[in-house]
Amino acid sequence: MLIRVTPERLNPEEAIEAVRRDEAGAVDVFLGIVRNTNKGRAVDHLVYDAYPSMAEKTMREVAEEALERFDLTDSAVLHRTGRLEIGETSLLVAVSAGHRAATFEAGHWLVNEVKRRVPVWKKEVWADGEEWIEGPESLGMERAPATMRGS
Amino acid sequence: MLIRVTPERLNPEEAIEAVRRDEAGAVDVFLGIVRNTNKGRAVDHLVYDAYPSMAEKTMREVAEEALERFDLTDSAVLHRTGRLEIGETSLLVAVSAGHRAATFEAGHWLVNEVKRRVPVWKKEVWADGEEWIEGPESLGMERAPATMRGS
Amino acid sequence: MVITVLFFASLADAVGTRELSLAHMPGDTVASVRDRLIAAHPQVSEFTETLLYAVDEEYADEDAPVPAGATLALIPPVSGG
Amino acid sequence: MVITVLFFASLADAVGTRELSLAHMPGDTVASVRDRLIAAHPQVSEFTETLLYAVDEEYADEDAPVPAGATLALIPPVSGG
């Protein structure tokens, strides 16, 4: 199980090789990529902050939970930190299984859970300013609805 | 839109780069891989036959249909032919979209449709024999239920 | 003018070739060409229950016309992926 | 003995640091440590509505104990991926 939080570029080939097995007929790989816009606003770049040790621990818990919930042979979760330019890969999730349906379901579930649970934060930087994007997919947002938020 | 039927090795990085766009925040890639067993029997290798020109035409139709049905920015479908060893990639499907849900749905749909519609056939070779695997996911199987099959 | 007929996978093994040419007849359809094929290669009849057909790379029904110069492909149930 | 407190993202910007040490008090919980933090750094109170907490890298409720030597992380709504 390949789990990593790193400021280095993420390599999809590495994740594929990490989950590939002779008994697994299907591999699904998801790449989260830095978009050039968000909510209609031009993004210049992103900066990812993380609590690296807890992020890796949480990613490992989510990946292990996926192995149990779905009929997977292996999974890999990698998240990049630091400054990322448009088009670069921030998140890489790969899963392998005997058959394809499990890989698509597990991949989607894993990406959702990573975004909900893993302590990583994204700052959007525009030409004229910047802002930390917090929630709304995280665990915290389930406890505090939007109308109750502090700021 | 990258569409290819080829006896050469399939490269996931090429498919990812083909669908990657600055406005696409999500890429999903599926790899169909030669398994070492099928229905409990040890597989030595596979041989894929194809009707290459019609296979590429059908793959392009399916990929274009996916662009319309789902909110995709691009898609790629590659199928390998000839002799494939255990662990090698037979099918590569990549899609990009603004957001992740569309990529998982479209990727799964595309793989299903390729397996149903594209004129490609797989021969399993074991230590002591070989057999063309035909259906049961193909269009033909919908017309003729298993109990009516000729052989 | 002729029709080109293509065979694949198990059917190519059974017929012993991947391609052959047939004389075109006025009014030819997928079914009429297939029936002439079966007359020459009786083993094709074992496959017809599950065969699909393509005329010039487009899936076609049994009553679809097959024009002179066309390519008719006999398509066993596919198993790609 | 001390408690290590970690700040991230917007909260690290607001507090002006990513880490500080606090004296441990008998019976400390997430809430009691957070309240001492707010006394020293009132700007933290603007975040508490949406904060989660982790004690030694495990999400924890407000009434979870914070032992001497522990690390308490104040976790704004996450936005990875």
Look up residue B17 and give its two tokens. Answer: 């780069």
> Per the CB < 8 Å rule, is D77 touching A138?
yes
Is pLDDT at C81 greater than 60 in this prediction?
Answer: yes
Helix (H, G, I), strand (E, B) or coil at A35: coil
Touching chains, C (3+ CB pairs < 8 A) = B
Element (H, E) at B31: strand B26-33
User: Which of A52, A114, A66, A100 is CA-nearest to residue B110?
Assistant: A100
Is pLDDT at C6 greater than 60 in this prediction?
Answer: yes
C56 class by beta-carbon count within 10 Å (0-12 exposed, 13-18 middle, 19+ buried): middle
Is pLDDT at A151 greater than 60 in this prediction?
Answer: no
Which stretches of chain C sit within 8 Å of chain B by CB?
Answer: 6, 8-10, 12-13, 46-52, 54, 57, 59, 73, 75-81
| Min Cα–Cα distance to chain A from D1, Å | 22
Mean pLDDT in residue range A72-91: 98
Q: How far is CA A142 from the centre of its chain?
A: 19
| Min Cα–Cα distance to chain C from B34, Å | 9
Compute φ and ψ for A15, nearest 5 degrees.
-65, -40
Task: Determine what percent of chain B is predicted with pLDDT higher than 70.
Answer: 93
Question: Looking at beta carbons, which residues of chain B come within 8 Å of A23?
Answer: 35-37
* Among chain A residues, CA nearest to D48: A150
pTM over 0.90: yes
pLDDT in tens, B4-18: 999 999 999 999 999
Q: Which residues of A47-81 are buried (b: 16+ CB within 10 A; e: fewer)?
A: bbbbbbebbbbbbeebbeebbeebebbbbbbbbbb
Is pLDDT at C38 greater than 50 in this prediction?
Answer: yes
Distance CA A109, CA B99 (A): 14
Give the range among A57-66, A139-148, B55-64, B125-134 with minimum mean pLDDT. A139-148
Mean pLDDT in residue range B121-140: 90
Query: Strand pairing partners for B122?
Result: B48, B133
Mutual angle of helices A100-117 and B100-117, in 10-degree steps: 180
3-state secondary structure B46-63: EEEEECHHHHHHHHHHHH
pLDDT of A146: 38
pLDDT of D15: 97
Is pLDDT at C67 greater than 50 in this prediction?
Answer: yes
In order, the DSSP letters of chain C are -EEEEE--HHHHHHHT-SEEEEE--TT-BHHHHHHHHHHH-GGGGGTTTT-EEEETTEEE-TTSB--TT-EEEEEPPP---
pLDDT in tens, A19-45: 999 999 999 999 999 999 998 899 999
Q: Where is pLDDT greater, at A151 or B6? A: B6
pLDDT band for position A6 (cuts 50, 70, 90): very high
In order, the DSSP letters of D2-69 are EEEEE--HHHHHHHT-SEEEEE--TT-BHHHHHHHHHHH-GGGGGTTTT-EEEETTEEE-TTSB--TT
pLDDT band for position B142 (cuts 50, 70, 90): low
pLDDT in tens, A67-76: 999 999 999 9
pLDDT of B71: 92
Alpha carbon distance, N-terminus to C-terminus of chain B = 39
- Mutate one of A4, A39, A54 to test the D interface: name it (highest D CB count within 10 A): A54
Tell how strand C71-75 and strand C2-6 pair up. parallel
Give the count of beta carbons closer than 10 Å to the beta carbon of residue D16.
10
Task: Determine what percent of chain A is predicted with pLDDT higher than 70.
Answer: 93
Those residues whose C-beta lies under 8 Å from the C-beta of residue A131, and which sit 6 or more positions away, are A123, A124
Q: How far is CA A103 from the centre of its chain?
A: 16
| Cα separations in angstroms, D49 against A146, A149, A150, B80, D35 | 10, 6, 5, 54, 13
